Amino acid sequence: MPKLVIDTSKITDIPAFLKLCPFGALYEKDGKVDVSAACKMCRICVKKGPAGAATFVEDEKKPEINKAEWNGVVVYVDHEDGKIHPVTLELLGKAKELAAKINHKVCAVFIGSEITDNAEELLHYGCDEVYVYDNPALKHYIPELYTAVFENYIKTNKPCAILVGATTTGRELAPRIAARFKTGLTADCTILDMAENTDLIQIRPAFGGNIMAQIVCPNNRPQLATVRYKVMSASERTDAATGKIINCSLDGIDLNTTTKVLEVVPKQKVTTIESADVIVAVGRGLKAKEDIPMIKEFADLIGAQMACTRPLVEAGWMDAKHQIGLSGRTVRPKLIICLGISGAVQFSAGMNNSDIIFAINTDPNAPIFKTAHYDLVGDIYEIIPKLIAQIKEGK
């Protein structure tokens, strides 16, 4: 196996050398430096230490797999009771792009019960082949069952790469498939690309988003990646259906499971502002409680949760659970639109990590504009009704 060999005699300054390791894996014992199990094989000590102090010794090369045997970029069709999750269409858009680079086909794998009719829809999004496993035994998503079916698909079709939506079910299914095939899986990729040699280039945030890591799976197939909803772009729906639906047999698939689904209760939408992807926040620029419906209409149009600053809670206009800020909740949505909010530190500390921040304020010097990415100087009472009209027109 590859390992690090430390030659203490080459180290001029031992304490400084020990400090090189960001994981604290280097230690000195009886005047000799060695590596502990904390080592992550980052090899910084090799690069940064004195020449010859740390050496990375590689193994003999493992036999290389024949990548040409693995063809196709595949998307797992995420659904609940046949209703296709939109992340699927986004992944198909990406799969098309990746497949085009290496001249592979784009496939979808759809597992469930009474889903064949819905599979048709996928042919409008550039699938070359939709593999459908439709059977009453697959009515409920049970990890072992769906893994067994997917295993059958992989063994029969040998796909190059598999993209799975990072939904509750996808995040559970993808690791089971990866472990079953002893292959690599990268979670929550934000950028995907395809190398000429069919290696999927996967980029994902690490350490809470403070670092990006580029990951490849160079000697295993299939390659698996999960991607969150709203990270990739769906391609436009085409009027004509292209590609074909392939109904797959369940013969030879072990559908035994001891897991029983006892009940499925459709959820009432109770969402908190912390979990919202899009937030419309309103502040003291709002003149009366009666104006809240206008803001609500706008929020509903863009699928946003309503939130507010502290004064509105104190005035009793909105509930405390909608308050953003140090004395309220901390949010990190993909988009936040701040309406008539001046942007006191106590407020912005609760939302300044949001991905995209819009602010509308009449005062061009409002502190919120220092936090926001899009500073819209104007009056919410003029802009919002017009914006509502614009969005309605566009829909």
Question: CB neighbours of 188 closer than 8 A, spacing ≥ 6?
Answer: 166, 204, 205, 226, 227, 228
- 3-class SS of residue 394: helix
* 172 binding other proteins? (CB under 8 A): yes
Question: What x/- string results for residues 333 through 372 when contact with other proteins is judged by CB under 8 A?
Answer: -xx-------------------xx-x-x---x----x--x
160 binds other proteins (CB under 8 A): no
Binding other proteins by CB under 8 A: which of 40, 101, 287, 321? Answer: 40
Q: Which stretch binds other proteins (CB under 8 A): 96-104, 154-162, 286-294, 298-306?
A: 298-306
Among 180, 237, 244, 289, contact with other proteins (rule: CB under 8 A): 180
Q: Counting contacts by CB under 8 A, is residue 51 touching other proteins?
A: no
Nearest residue (CB) to other proteins, 191 versus 245: 191
Residue count (the chain): 395
Task: Please work out, in degrees rounded to the nearest 5, the angle formed at the alpha carbon of residue 54 by the alpha carbons of 51 and 56.
Answer: 110
- CB 25 to other proteins: min, Å: 7
Q: How many CB atoms lie within 10 A of CB 213?
A: 11
301 touches other proteins (CB under 8 A): yes
Q: Does 266 bind other proteins (CB under 8 A)?
A: yes
Among 5, 16, 38, 345, binds other proteins (CB under 8 A): 38
Distances (CA, A) of 319 to 49, 270, 295, 299, 310: 57, 14, 15, 16, 10
The three-class DSSP label of residue 84 is strand
With CB under 8 A, what is the number of residues at the site for other proteins? 105
Determine if 86 is a binding residue for other proteins (CB under 8 A): no
Is 255 a residue that touches other proteins (CB under 8 A)?
Answer: no
**DSSP calls for 87-137:** HHHHHHHHHHHHHHHHT--EEEEEEESS-HHHHHHHGGGT-SEEEEEE-GG
- Nearest CB to other proteins, comparing residues 188 and 246: 188
